[in-house]
Each structure stands twice: as structure tokens, then as C-alpha cells.
Amino acid sequence: MQTYLVGGAVRDALLGLPPGDRDWVVVGETQASMEAAGFRAVGADFPVFLHPASGEEYALARTERKSGRGHRGFVVDADPSVTLEQDLHRRDFTINAIAQAPDGTLVDPYGGHRDLQDRVLRHVGPAFAEDPLRVLRAGRFMARFAPLGFTVAPDTMALMRAMVDAGELADLVPERVWQELRRALASAAPSAFLRTLHDAGALAAVLPEVDALYGVPQRAEYHPEVDTGVHVEMVCDMAARLAPGDDLVGFAALTHDLGKALTPSSQLPRHVNHEHAGVAPLRALCERLRIPAQHRQLAEAACREHLNVHRFYELRASTVEALIARCDGYRRPERIAQLATVCEADKRGRGGAAEDAYPQGPALLAAHAAARAVRAADLGPGRDGAPLDGPALGEALRQARIGAIAQALSKPR
């Protein structure tokens, strides 16, 4: 059986990165011969098998022919006559089109090793244009590899722009857009995803609410970067630094300033009430892409509350308690820590502020801890001596929490 290690496992090994999942291509076999050798078929769209001992995926070498619109509109041919070179030719980028034989020999017909050395993301061939999802994959790979010095090849960027102009991205299903976005937000440089898609014109097609932020000015004394789109890039990168691999925090960072795109031009560069204006476009984005509930809820809390957290030391204890309650911080205590991280990313994700302290975060966490330490069982009876219950208990608990927060806020910083 002719088997070759392919794709990300080969690429990452050549880059000196930690190994991930290993995928294999098998040449010259059929489904019957694979099953006879003990492999278990699992592929729904094309022939993929699990190794009987390792459980790793082995796919028959295949070609693909475009048969319709979208990323699923393909006819797959996995005939035993398909060669390894033909299989590699259908892949997206040259750095993913390198195979390794069992003896360690590289099979690299499209120059992927050279592009790895040159730090270039380049498409394999014209068939790239047949799958619109590959535009998003280009952004996602840049989110991972930009810190290593990678850039997108000019001819690849030109091809992506042509795909966008042809309306190809309109056929992407929401779940696949979210999958690529989520992985980009969990990468080291989400800004490279946004910048790549923006430069290709693709961001307007898949995230128009975010794309609308580019070119919107902010007050330079607070935002030396001025451009709101650039600010969001910086916030996403800071979120990735503060909470590595956390796409939940990353999504809230991405969407916290959507309201600034709606500021009337007569008010610019000020953005009065943008935190509340941003809730509607955030909800529209979440509905369109079917964003998971936990991501929606944190993002909405960050959009609505980030200015309150920034001015935390100006807030009364009752206002802090109401903020915690609005964010569901008693039932979901982890949300307050996540909110604090998003707000810190916002404050430090601007020109010259990357190393600034953000004491508001720890102060919010201390107030939250004090409020959570209050227990209904510790409250005394009502004025009439009867045990508290119903609305009276709720109000007494709220007042006790406000008192605990006030005490926490009075401690020296």
C-alpha cells in the first residue's frame, strides 16, 4: 500500500512547529481493498478511512471537478489511477501540497517547501477559484502564520479579489464562515485574518458590520491609530495575547465597537452612545452567522458595558451591582472575568498602550467576588421578624451585595 503523510503535519514539521493531527493519502487502492486491510470507512463526501490501529485518517488519492456553486459543489473521483501529484494539485496552498513518503522523502511538485522558506502563502493553481471557502482559509492561515513573517502572494490576492468580485462568497454557508472565523480568533494574530479579508474585499461580504469600521475616525488623543478598523485589529491581537486560544473572548473583542460605524458623520470623530448603538448590528451578525449563545451573550455584554468598565472607579456601588446583574454574573460568574479581559484588550489595543496597566479589571473582579460572597442564608429576618422571601428577599440580597461592593471599593488600590 502506497501511503504518504500530507498537509498540515508535513507543513508544520518543516516549520518546526509542534505536531498536530496526521493525515495520510493512499495511492492505488479502492474502498474494497482498504476495508479488506482492516480500515473502517467514515467519509461521507469522499473516501476516508480510519487506520485499524492508530485511528488516523487515510484518504484515497482523489481529484475534484466543479459541478455547482459553493464549497460543496464538486464531483469527486477516487479511482485507483489517480496519482499523488494529481491529489496534491487539488489542494489550496502550496505549503499544504507537500507529501512525505515513509522513508522521509518529500514529494513537492508545486514548490511548497520553497514557499515555506520564503514565508509566502500561494495558491496551487487556478482550481483555487472554484472553492470560495479558500478565501477565508487564506485569512485564517495568515492569522496563524503572520507572526512567522508570512505574506500572501500578489497573484493569490488578485485571484481572491476576482472571486469576491464574481460574488462567489455569497454561496458560503454560515456554519463554515463561523468555523473559519472562530479558528482565526483563536490564533496568534487575528488582525491578519481581518486585514487579509479586508484587502481582498471579502470582509465586506462575510462580516460587513466589521468591514464598515475601516476608515471611521476616532479621537486621536484616545486612539492614536485613529482608524476604527485598525483599532479593532489591535484589540483582537491583544485579546489573543491576554487569552491565548480563547475564541469566546476574541469574538467579543472583534464586535465590541460595531456601533462606531453608525455614528453620524456630523459627530465624528466623537462616538456618543456607540456602545448601545452597537447592540443591533451585533445581534444581526450573530443571527446571520448562527453564532453560539455563549459567544453572543459575552459579546453583547462587552459591547454594552465596555465604557462602564473603563470608568469603573467613577461608578457607584449600586451601579456596579447592576452591571454584574445585567451580565448574568451571579449565575455565570466566569462571564465577569471574560468581560474584564475584553475591556483590558480594548484599552490596551491602541497605539502606544500595549504595555499599560489596567487596574479596572482586578477592581471589577474584586467587587464581583465580594458580591458573590453574600448569601441569602446569611440575611436576617424582615422588619416584622418573619423570614424573607420573594421580592423582599431579592431586594435584601441586592442591598447586601451593594454594601459588600462598597466595602470592596473602599479598600486602597
- Does the residue 235 lie in any domain? no
- Does the residue 11 lie in any domain? yes
In this predicted structure, the answer to whether residue 72 has a pLDDT above a threshold of 60 is: no
Here the cell at position 218 is: 476616532
CA distance 126 to 96: 16
In this predicted structure, the answer to whether residue 181 has a pLDDT above a threshold of 70 is: yes
Q: How many domains does the chain have?
A: 1
* Residues β-bridged to residue 72: none
pLDDT category of residue 391 using cuts at 50, 70 and 90: confident
The pLDDT of residue 376 is 76
Q: Say what percent of the chain tops pLDDT 70.
A: 94
DSSP letters for 60-86 = E--EEEE-SSSTT-EEEE--TT--HHH
- Does the residue 119 lie in any domain? yes
- Does the residue 65 lie in any domain? yes
- Does the residue 257 lie in any domain? no
Residue numbers of the domain that contains 105: 1-127
- Does the residue 121 lie in any domain? yes
The pLDDT of residue 156 is 98
Instruction: State the average pLDDT over residues 381-396.
Output: 67
pLDDT tens-digit readout, 143-172: 999 999 999 999 999 999 999 999 999 989
Which range has the worst mean pLDDT, 132-136, 320-324, 380-384?
A: 380-384
Please, are residues 25 and 99 in contact by the beta-carbon 8 Å criterion? Answer: yes
pLDDT tens-digit readout, 234-268: 999 999 999 999 999 999 999 999 999 999 999 99
Instruction: State the average pLDDT over residues 286-295.
Output: 98
The pLDDT of residue 66 is 63
- Does the residue 180 lie in any domain? no
- Does the residue 90 lie in any domain? yes
Please, are residues 125 and 119 in contact by the beta-carbon 8 Å criterion? Answer: no
- List for the chain the helix, strand, coil content (%; round to 5): 55, 10, 35
| Other residues' Cβ atoms within 10 Å of the Cβ of residue 117 | 10
CA distances from 15 to 9, 116, 150, 281, 287 (A): 10, 7, 12, 40, 38
Here the cell at position 131 is: 472553492
Please, are residues 309 and 343 in contact by the beta-carbon 8 Å criterion? Answer: yes
Q: What is the CATH number of the domain that holds 48?
A: 3.30.460.10
pLDDT tens-digit readout, 343-368: 999 999 999 999 999 999 999 999 99
CA distance 277 to 21: 43
Average pLDDT, the chain: 93
CA distance 196 to 121: 11
In this predicted structure, the answer to whether residue 64 has a pLDDT above a threshold of 70 is: yes
